[in-house]
Amino acid sequence: MAGNGKGTAEMELSYKDDPRMPCKYGAKCYQKNKNHHEKYKHPPKKTPEGRGVIRKVVDKDESCVASSAPSPEKSPEKKKIKLDTSDEEAEQITSSPSHSNASEPVVDDPENALPPSPEDVKESIKQKFLCEMPEDFYQFWDFCKNLSSDSPARALKEIGLMLVGPYDVLSGELKKVKHRDSSSYLRHWRYYFDPPEFQTIIKGDDKKQYHMGYYRDDPQEMPVFVACNSAAVSCTISPLAGNVFGAVNAYLNGILKSGDPFTKIKVPKYQNALKKWAEKEGISLEAKTAEMKARSKKVVSTTFHNAGIVVPCDKKSQVGYRELLEPDAQIKKILTSIMDSETEDKRKAAFSKLQPIVTAANIANDECDFGASLELGLDLFAFGGEPLHPIILQLLQAAYKLLNRPEFAVIIKAHLQDRKKGVDLSIVK
């Protein structure tokens, strides 16, 4: 800035007189897109770095901000809130400061493109998937590299497993991608029933579409457990263990109990290697950890996918979550009638029965019971069906932004843009 020959006062005056809209991210905005800078102006001085906060318009002298979780000591008052959000928030979340990489793919769509990948692999994963991976994620890569130095991602192929998703950053697979579209990275190995809370890291049987992934309630926190889902069978997400080592060990135990004979004979070799490595590194193989047990006490609803949801909730004042207007059985009945409707008129009539439930969840948001929209949105997502996608997006984007989980709002939007069944889920072609 100093090199342009203008003094601080002159630059501030120039900024004030600039007719363009001010960028809501101020001087910390690092967008290089030409269209962005033509539309928004940026202050000459840098502001302190910090995590973006979802802005809300609240009534004067009232407060009910999702980023301040209700506590037993002081329950938040129930006040009305109106969201003031835009696609620019999504643009900011999916872009991060990074270092140049000469081997970066060509940018085909500047409006939805990521900046060059950070040199640090952990930052590169966070840039593309919006969440950090826990330490056991990298430890398991080292274990697989020890089994197969040439191809760690396929080290467990004999027992039907392959490392995918964020592991493709470690393997270098994502360097083959010829574009930098942020949404496509978020869909990379995201199965049909994978909600934003679930990040696939291992694929298994293609017939059942079995896969494992990390499950976390907040994108800014580390996962609570590793779970599995068989997308061709159901939406059910089943917790396996507190880390990927324990999850794979549980998978191997399952093969020993009911797997085919040809796979069974290969299990001892890999299970012994897994246990030795875990023991050497001090990694627990427990199926249920203390963190998982603690979370189970915080779950306010099991949801259709059975993994449940956790939201800031004061049980004494009952602020944070309220039950849906109708029980699960009735909601499933309504959703079935929507999906089975043979004509547009019948579908509209079926949707009219769902609308009061949606309206009640939206009203709950006004009174700080954000868990209702989260539950209903995830239930509709778990039920599945493209006609439900607009309502799912509305419910979940509102819930995630009010809960200060904006990364999940970006993920659900990207997923619903191209939600696929089957196993053709890699962006590496």
| Residue 367 annotated among the catalytic residues of the structure | yes
Number of H helices, E strands in the chain: 16, 9
How far CA 51 is from CA of 41, 88, 92, 95, 220, in Å, comes to: 21, 15, 11, 13, 10
Phi, psi at 203, each rounded to 5°: -105, 150
CA 347 to chain CA centroid, nearest Å: 30
Distance from the first to the final alpha carbon of the chain: 43
- Dihedral sign for Cα 82, 88, 93, 97, please: negative
426, 162 in Cβ contact below 8 A? no
Q: Sort strands 40-41 and 21-22 into parallel, antiparallel or unpaired.
A: parallel
Please name the residue that has the structure tokens 């457990």.
225
Nearest-CA neighbor of 238 among 308, 170, 297?
A: 308
Distance CA 333, CA 183 (A): 33
One of 88, 158, 326, 367 is an active-site residue; which one?
Answer: 367
Going by C-beta distance under 8 Å and a sequence separation of 6 or more, which residues neighbour residue 199? 129, 131, 165, 166, 213, 214, 216, 223
Bridge partners of residue 208, in order along the sequence:
none
Nearest-CA neighbor of 364 among 311, 303, 302, 307?
A: 311
Please name the residue that has the structure tokens 């547009």.
344
Cβ count within 10 A of residue 275: 15
Residues carrying an active site annotation? 367
